[in-house]
Amino acid sequence: MKSIECHLHSYSMINHLNHDASYDVLRFIEHAKELGFSGVNISANGPGYRDLGGTSDEHFAKVKAHLQQLNMACELDTSDTRVPHMTELLNVAQAIGATVLRVYTRYQASVGELIKWTIADLKALAPVAEQMGILIVLENHEDFTGMQVCEILDAVDSPWVKALYDYGNSQNVAEDPHVALTAMAPHVARIHMKDHIVIRHEGKLWTQGVAIGDGTLPFNELTSRLLGMGLSRLCFENSWGYVAPISESHGDIPKTPCFAVFDRPPFVAQQMPVELALEGEMRALQDGVEYFKAICRDLGVNALN
């Protein structure tokens, strides 16, 4: 049986990290180890470096030591491709021993300008990333189609700047996940696994994060395709309780099965009573992990120890 690496994303436990004082980044790393993951992806996206939980050199050293003690690999997530910000986060990544830094744009402009500015940023950052030995991966978040990500990375043309393919984010730009993957395939180095449904509420369409296995994303097929492409590290992201709008500027949504629309209000974990959010998040993580294990068995892959 082929063995691959699998990381747990800190967003999977965002409610615990936000609301449970006993659950910090160190406990998250331990929890991932207990579940059989070989590493973690930590979001440092926001004030205080968010899920990283601290900004001091002492804190970074503590996180790095904990990762090394548990033999856990690490990748770091941020957003905003501006060169000063990314240079700062590359240094944070190096301080905790992360080997990959994920990013997506934060510019507000026309798509053409977004593409131009993102290319310029990543071209400037590529030699910095190479010098530090940290791979930058640009995610298809909720702004670019797969072909637009490919256009950016073709122009940057650096082995130190690749793509991160997210199973569900293409839905937010009205693009089928298989279409996005086909476009991004030459550049994909990392992935985020998650599951969604599409809901209609008050006349608008949204993606609703659900436990992996409970949604309509073609999870099994995408996983099989990515493994067939030679990907050897996957990142499991429990997005239960997350909602995001589907852009109306990209035209009608595709008629593929993952865009089946459910008429129902969203459920947003951050708006729930804390006890319900913590309970639901933990249950979704546990159920999703079991579903993923079954998928791996079917594919002849060992991903969780």
Give the amino acid at 127: P
Residue 1 confidence (pLDDT): 78
pLDDT band at 2 (very low <50, low <70, confident <90, very high): confident
| Strands 204-210 and 195-201, sheet pairing | antiparallel
Q: How far apart are CA 153 and CA 162, in angstroms?
A: 7
Annotate 130-158 with DSSP letters as a single string.
Answer: HHHT-EEEEE--SS--HHHHHHHHHHH--
Q: Confidence band (pLDDT; 50, 70, 90) for 251? A: confident
Q: What is residue 142's predicted lDDT score, i.e. its pLDDT?
A: 81
- pLDDT over threshold 90, residue 36: yes
Instruction: Give all strands (DSSP E) within 169-288, no chain letters.
Output: 188-192, 195-201, 204-210, 233-236, 243-245, 261-263
Residue 302 or residue 7, greater confidence: 7
What pLDDT is recorded for position 145? 95
Nearest to 291 by CA among 279, 303, 280: 303
DSSP conformation letters of 28-69: HHHHHHHTT-SEEEEE--SGGGGGG---SHHHHHHHHHHHHH
Give CATH for domain 2-302.
Answer: 3.20.20.150
Contacts of 253 (CB under 8 A, 6+ apart): 171, 174, 198, 205, 246, 259, 261
Side-chain half-sphere of 186: how many Cα atoms within 13 Å?
11
pLDDT of residue 262: 97
> What is the model's pTM?
0.96
Per cent of the chain over pLDDT 90 is 93
Confidence of residue 249 (pLDDT cuts 50, 70, 90): confident
Q: What is the pLDDT of residues 157-200, one digit of tens each?
A: 999 999 999 999 999 999 999 999 999 999 999 999 999 999 99
Taking only the tens place, the pLDDT of each residue in 108-122 is 889 999 999 999 999
DSSP state of 212: T
Please choose, from the candidates 118, 103, 125, the residue with its C-alpha nearest in 3D space to the C-alpha of residue 148.
Answer: 118
Query: What residue segments make up the domains of the chain, in order of their start?
Result: 2-302
- Assess whether pLDDT exceeds 90 at residue 255: yes
Mean per-residue pLDDT, 37-63: 97
Q: What is the pLDDT of residues 128-158, one digit of tens each?
A: 999 999 999 999 998 899 999 999 999 999 9
Q: What is the pLDDT of residue 248?
A: 84
Residue 219, CA atoms < 13 Å, CB-side half-sphere: 26
Average pLDDT value for the chain: 96
Question: Where on the phi/psi map is residue 180: left (φ > 0), alpha (ψ -120 to 50), or beta?
Answer: alpha
Structure tokens given for 29: 């790393």
CB 296 within 8 A of CB 212: no
Structure confidence at residue 69 (pLDDT):
98
What pLDDT is stored for residue 223 in this prediction? 96
212, two tokens? 């992996």
**pLDDT over threshold 90, residue 305:** no
Residue 235 pLDDT: 98
Q: What is the pLDDT of residue 12?
A: 98
* CA atoms of 167 and 126, how far apart (whole Å): 25
Residue 279: predicted pLDDT: 98
Can you tell me the distance from the alpha carbon of 151 to that of 48, in angstroms, rounded to the nearest whole number? Answer: 33
Mean pLDDT of 76-96: 98
Q: What is the pLDDT of residues 196-237, one digit of tens each?
A: 999 999 999 999 999 999 999 999 999 999 999 999 999 999
